[in-house]
Amino acid sequence: MSIVLDHLAHLVSFNTESQRSNLPLIDDLEQWFRSQSIVTHRFPNADGTKATLLASVGPMVDGGVILSGHTDVVPVEGQSWTTDPFKLRVDQGRAYGRGSVDMKGFLSLGMTLLPEMQKAPLKTPVHMMFSYDEELTCLGVVDAIAAFGRDLPRPRAAIVGEPTNLEVADAHKSVFTFRTEVTGFECHSSKPMLGANAVSGAAELIRHLDKLAEEERAKGDPTGRFDPPYGTVHVGNVRGGTARNIVPKSCIFEWEVRGVPVTDEMDVARRLEAYANEVMLPRLRATGHSASMATICDVQVPGLKPDPGSVAETLAMRLAGRNKTITVPYGTEAGHFQAAGIPTIVCGPGSINQAHQPDEYIEVAELERGVDFVRKLIGELSR
């Protein structure tokens, strides 16, 4: 196991927190793959500060399989780590380090087995994707996905290696995030009737979102597979006003919708806007001042919908030795692959319970099972 741990230690040593550039790691990986005579393609973001790297092994023909994982990790600031989070520590069967389970452990598997891929009589390629911004927007894979079937061979399936203990997940909820700003008119708090209180207006909208959340709960989950078994609406951040004695001009709140297959995420935003126009804004404008409300959708992470019997599902279940699928409660990049018509599942080593926390770790035994999983994939693609 020293080889996979060596690769994992190397990946962890790069600080790729989501607010930072991942280019030092991408540059390093690209140089390493090219030194192994592997074809690579780079897909930068709009300002060139981050990039996704694709490394393809085998004949460049249709029908290959994508192993997709993100290089970005969540911040360590404010967390109490026992040791340096960017120096892998192996102790009593656990490999500790930021990103060890989420999800540089998965990325290390393909790197470890690269020599076996090169020696194998692959009939179709293994595409290893190293993406960015999964922890922020899940948009880091979009440009690379668009290249398949256009500039690159079209794969038969994608495996997104988020930690599932190598269970095969065929579904997860969508994640749509929104930012709503209410604008009113400021005045002295001794005469609030002379202004339009944006915080009060925002509070009214937040109360209405609670009502919309109950409506989503009442719709339920027809598949009966998600936990909780309904789409959720959640307000996570509110900020507004300048001082206690000033009627606030502005208030912004950030909220999200996590949807099941029957959820229309944008419809929640439309219903909120309709309520604002019909109820909240007329009340604020009653003082004679203008008032407005605007909602922006910041992030759209499509859900992964069950696709029973898909190529990806049957392949992953065979590789992992499973006879049933699961759902996962978190969002992933998998929905983008599926939306592009590429059958996709989520399956990777380790447990999500260890992700995003201080002293994040992955069990070494899980890495061993992950190596076996990818080794079986090499065999499948060599037949």
The pLDDT, as a whole number, for residue 31 is 98
Architecture category of domain 175-301 in CATH: 2-Layer Sandwich (3.30)
User: 């040791």: which residue's tokens?
Assistant: 83
User: 């201080």: which residue's tokens?
Assistant: 358
Residue 70: pLDDT band (50, 70, 90) is very high
The helix/strand/coil state of 206 is helix
Beta-bridge mates of residue 90? 95
Angle at 340 between CA 378 and CA 70, to 5 degrees: 60
- Give the C-alpha separation, 7 to 169, whole Å: 26
| Mean pLDDT, residues 89-98 | 98
Domain edges within the chain: 2-172+302-382, 175-301
| Mean pLDDT, residues 299-327 | 96
What are the residues whose beta carbons fall under 8 Å from the beta carbon of 56, sequence distance 6 or more? 38, 39, 40, 41, 64, 125, 126, 127, 128, 152
Task: Tell me which residue of 369, 367, 356, 318 sits closest to 94, measured CA to CA.
Answer: 367
Within the chain, residue ranges assigned H as helices are 2-12, 23-35, 105-112, 114-119, 142-147, 198-219, 265-275, 281-285, 311-320, 334-339, 364-382
Q: Which amino acid is at 184?
A: G
Q: Which amino acid is at 364?
A: V
Residue 261: pLDDT band (50, 70, 90) is confident
Residue 25: phi and psi, rounded to 5, are: -70, -45
End-to-end Cα separation, the chain, in angstroms: 27
Pairs from 82-86 (Cβ < 8 Å, separation ≥ 24): 82/358, 82/359, 85/358, 85/360, 86/12, 86/13, 86/14, 86/15
Residue 238: phi and psi, rounded to 5, are: -135, 135
pLDDT greater than 90 at residue 312: yes
Pairs from 274-277 (Cβ < 8 Å, separation ≥ 24): 275/205, 275/208, 276/182, 276/201, 276/205
The pLDDT, as a whole number, for residue 223 is 86
pLDDT greater than 60 at residue 57: yes
- Give the C-alpha separation, 262 to 84, whole Å: 44
- Give the C-alpha separation, 24 to 301, whole Å: 26
pLDDT digit string, tens, across residues 191-204? 999 999 999 999 99
Residue 38: phi and psi, rounded to 5, are: -100, 135
- Give the C-alpha separation, 252 to 65, whole Å: 43
User: Strand 250-258 to strand 232-240: parallel, antiparallel, or no bridges (unpaired)?
Assistant: antiparallel
The helix/strand/coil state of 88 is coil
| Mean pLDDT, residues 334-360 | 97
User: 């994640």: which residue's tokens?
Assistant: 175
The helix/strand/coil state of 290 is coil
Task: Tell me which residue of 130, 108, 102, 127 sits closest to 44, measured CA to CA.
Answer: 130
Q: Which CATH number fits domain 2-172+302-382: 3.40.50.1220, 3.20.20.80, 3.40.50.920, 3.40.630.10?
A: 3.40.630.10
How many C-beta neighbours within 10 Å does residue 242 have? 11
| Mean pLDDT, residues 307-315 | 97
What are the residues whose beta carbons fall under 8 Å from the beta carbon of 293, sequence distance 6 or more? 180, 181, 182, 183, 201, 205, 273, 276, 277, 280, 281
Q: How many residues does the chain have?
A: 383
The pLDDT, as a whole number, for residue 1 is 56
Residue 190: pLDDT band (50, 70, 90) is very high
| Mean pLDDT, residues 93-113 | 98
| Mean pLDDT, residues 169-194 | 96
Q: How many CA atoms lie within 13 A of 334 on its CB side?
A: 31
